[in-house]
Copies of this chain bind each other. A is one copy, B any other.
Amino acid sequence: MDAALHLLEHQSFSSLGMREVTREAGMSPAGFYRHFRDLADLGVALVEEALASLHEMVRAAFKEQGEPEELIDHAVRVIADHVREHRAHVRFVARERFGGVAPVREAIAAELERFTEEVAQALAAQPVSAGWGAADVRMVAELYVDHMVLTAAALQQADAETERQITATARRQLRLISVGRRHWVSG
C-alpha cells in the first residue's frame, strides 16, 4: 500500500498497474494476489487508511470550544497540519473523489457521508443552531465538509507562499459562513 501511495504522487489510480506496484514494493508480480484480489481492492483499502486519519482530525477540530474567531483559526490550522503530515493520503482522496474507478469513488463517498453526518450532529448541538430544521443543519454540514476537502486538496499541491494565501482565504470564507449562520432564518 505504501508503494502504491508513493506511485500515486504522479498519476491517478485508474492508470496504476499491478506490476508497477509490485516492482515499487520490491516483490514479484504474483505476490500481489496474496494481499489483494484486485487493484480496486487495494484502492478501497487505501481509502479506509486515508480517511481514518482524517476522521480523527475532524473530531479534534470540533472538540475545541471558544469564540467563533478562535475556532476558525484553530480549524484551519488543524487542516494545514494534517495536510503536511498526510500529503499523499490527502492527494489520493482529492484525486479519486471523482476519479475513474467506481469502487474507490463509492468508498470515498460513503466515508465522506459518515463525516457529514457526524459534523451535522456536532452542529445541531451548538447554540447557534437552536430552532433549525434538520435539512438546514445538514446543508451547513455538507458545506463545511466540502469546504474542508477542497481546502485540503488545494493545500496539498501548494508551496509555502501559496499555502498562506489559501489558509487566509479559507479563514475568511469560514467567517462568511459563520456570519450567515448567525443571521439565518430557518423555515
Contact = CB atoms under 8 A, between A and B. Distances in A.
Contact of A146 (B10, B97, B136, B150): B150
Contacts of A136: 172
Contacts of A143: 173, 176
A94 B153 CA distance: 13
A177 interface: yes
A121 interface: no
Number of copies of this kind of chain in the complex? 2
A94 B98 contact: yes
Contacts of A13: 12
Interface stretch (A21-29, A65-73, A178-186): A178-186
Contact of A15 (B100, B169, B173): B100
A184 B173 contact: no
Contact of A172 (B12, B101, B139): B139
Given A95-B99, A182-B183, A176 B14 contact: no
Interface of A: 8, 10-15, 91, 94-95, 97-101, 135-136, 138-140, 142-143, 146, 150, 153, 157, 169, 172-173, 176-184
Given A179-B179, A179-B183, A180-B181, 14 more contacts: A11-B100, A12-B101, A14-B14, A14-B15, A94-B98, A95-B98, A98-B157, A138-B169, A139-B173, A142-B173, A150-B150, A177-B180, A180-B183, A182-B183
